[in-house]
Structure 1
Amino acid sequence: MLEVNIEEVTSDLHTIADFLRWSMSRFNEADLYYGHGAANAWDEAVSLALFALHLPDNLDDSIMQTRLTKTEKMAVINLVLRRIDERIPAAYLTNLAYFCRLPFYVDERVLVPRSPIGELIESGFAGLIENEPYSILDLCTGSGCIAIASAYAFPEAVVDGVDLSDDALDVAQLNIHNHELDDRVRAIKSDIFSGVAGQKYDLIVTNPPYVDAEDMGDMPDEYHHEPEMGLACGNDGLDIVRVILVEASEHLNDQGTLICEVGNSMIHVQALYPEVDFNWIEFERGGLGVFQLTKQQLEQHKELFKQKVSK
């Protein structure tokens, strides 16, 4: 636990800029891990300070020299110390995360949104789909961020966000309501495709649990605040992905396509299915392990996919 002289901090520091510098120094001292929205100590310090002070994130820099009351100072200090001592991701402390530049409520019932699929949504899946989709499935929706962002990207589409976790679906429904998309986005309980039997879609997008056993053991403390159900998925991380590959074609229209994230487990996908020509997508803003397969490809390799489900 970090030792902090609270009286010294509150008496010697005065402005927002003072507290941002102090927060950044404490974060660097504590060697925190950043992987849940903020990329560095400065961004993390800014997000927590603005939240503690009830300020928007589009302020003019002149606000940084304004002085804080003692109560405001303590609000910032307490958040900073919780971030350090408990290793809680900042998004859970603020209950706010951004995905595709959209705000989402998050708490420890769901993963913090961070998928590189967001870059694909913002581009309208350029180069990956031929026609605008009118029906989209977000498989393993969690907070609902991919489903909701997809609904913004394609205003004529209806979107189903499915998940097995009742807790996650409660958060997804809250976000759907907050974005006023109840008429186009549904949160559905489903064990992979079980809740959408008979439904077909133009596009299936999925960021399923895919962390293998080795990576789960090596994860920084911050990740252990997230639901393990949303991360771990068997020894090689592909227990759910195997089923998706078998069943996805049955839920795609003729020109439909599957976009699936597997992260570091792409090495296991490549080793398990060397015969399959996965389209591994490259990202301008960083990220890896997202592939595309068309319905035709899924059908072409269906027998192979079936053989691998039990292995």
Structure 2
Amino acid sequence: MIPSDETFDGTWPYRARYTEAAGFRQHYVDEGPPEARETLVLLHGEPTWGYLWRHLIDPLARRHRVIVPDQMGFGKSATPPDSDYLALDHIDNLETLLVDVLDLNRITLVLHDWGGPIGTGFALRHPDRVDRIVAINTVLPLGMPGYQDLMNANHADSAWFRWAGAAQANGTLDEILGNAGSSVTHLMLALQTITRPEIVTPTWIRAYAGHFTDRAACRGVIRFPQQLVTLGAKPPLPLPDPAAAAALRAKPAVLLEGMRDTALLPRYIIPAFREAFPSAPVIELPNAGHFPQEDAPDALLTALELFLRTTESLAVTRG
């Protein structure tokens, strides 16, 4: 767990807030006016933490309340030894934070990587609390008929999933990700793709590797891919309630897609999104890989703010 006062040379200046309502010490950032009409929840995935959103928090917090949780096992959140780190566990944790602790409504979910399935799981439980959905290089499992075929094709084609599948099969996945303090930034660069290697400074490496101090601290980063690449594994989330899925599909949504992603390949991720949201916009970011927040933060922010402005009245009407 990264110390609460760590700023990584001033690149992460946000006040650390904590709750233990979900049974572990969970860190989150809460910026912007608390009385704002809408709240943006920025949710990271594998193998990042809230630091991923550092370029977007201040601009978005000028008009919105911005909540940035760290998933269990990542960033400034704890890594409890007694959790299975399944997707459903992360959904439970998010629900506890957003509902029981913060009691949020009028939520816009901004989701990346595993943040997509986790945020979708939360939204299916509480569609009345969610106004809009922003997907960034992620998937939203809403039970559409062609979704699993597209995911299977992606996993067979993707550099990240081909590596993770082979490593799980030959027994090296635990070893490599169990040493994530040494391997994690290389995997981000080589198998998920960061298109601007010049951003990879010693501070950047320290920020992304900082949680993974020993094997016990790597439980979360190991468990995410295992849920998808273990032979015979079932989908990590059950099929959604059709009524809840229909309610979410009626909400404003957008996909912001880094087109050089080598983990979740755009040729599968864009059709998967369009199955659920056939009329929603897809904004392609041609020079970004799996992490547009790192590769193209200005373009990502512009696209996100455009979506927020153009859907504001629609979200209010439906809310």
TM beyond 0.5:
no
Provide TM-score, normalisation by structure 2.
0.31
Q: Which has the larger radius of gyration?
A: 1
